[in-house]
Structure 1
Amino acid sequence: MAVTNDTIIQKMEKELAEAKRLSNDDAGMKAHIAHIHLLCELLLEEKPKSATPSSSDMTADEMKAMLGQEMTGKPLEGTEKRTEQDGANGHSIFDF
């Protein structure tokens, strides 16, 4: 769930009003200014939505391909487990 820029700006305005209200309390005012700083960073670091694909943009076939399965649901060639000698199985030297 994305937060709109308008919502962030409204929160910044509330924090600014609180900072003005607490102008005599240095620590309280700085706390609200710090909140404004964090909200500004949210707006400045936001990346365009088209630049970062989400998992919902991925099709089921693409997900299967990434997980090493063909369209038929069989494992891809060469990914099946094989039994070796002396009870060892797999491709790794750490497979016992």
Structure 2
Amino acid sequence: MAVATDTILNKMKRELTEAQQMSADEAAMKKHIANIQLLCELLLEEQSAPGTERDMTACEMKAMMGDKAEAAVHEPKSKHDTIDHDGANGASIFDF
């Protein structure tokens, strides 16, 4: 069930007013600020929810992972990475 944007904004205003009034009590002020943050996230999720899910672009991947992203995209891992230990190599721990 979608919540009206005006309702969320009004609740954010109320929380902001209460946070300003509680500026002497830092713990209470932080609680109201956290409530504002949650309301912001709710509003942003609600606006982006209808069919806007998409795959990550190459630029976004590079921004998050740096140069490792390009290497991971362009270098497929081989399926048979095995280590030879005196003739006991295989994908299973039961391969002797």
What is the TM-score normalised by the length of structure 1? 0.49
Larger Cα-atom Rg: 1
What is the TM-score normalised by the length of structure 2? 0.49
- The structure with higher relative contact order (CA 8 Å, sep 6+) is 2
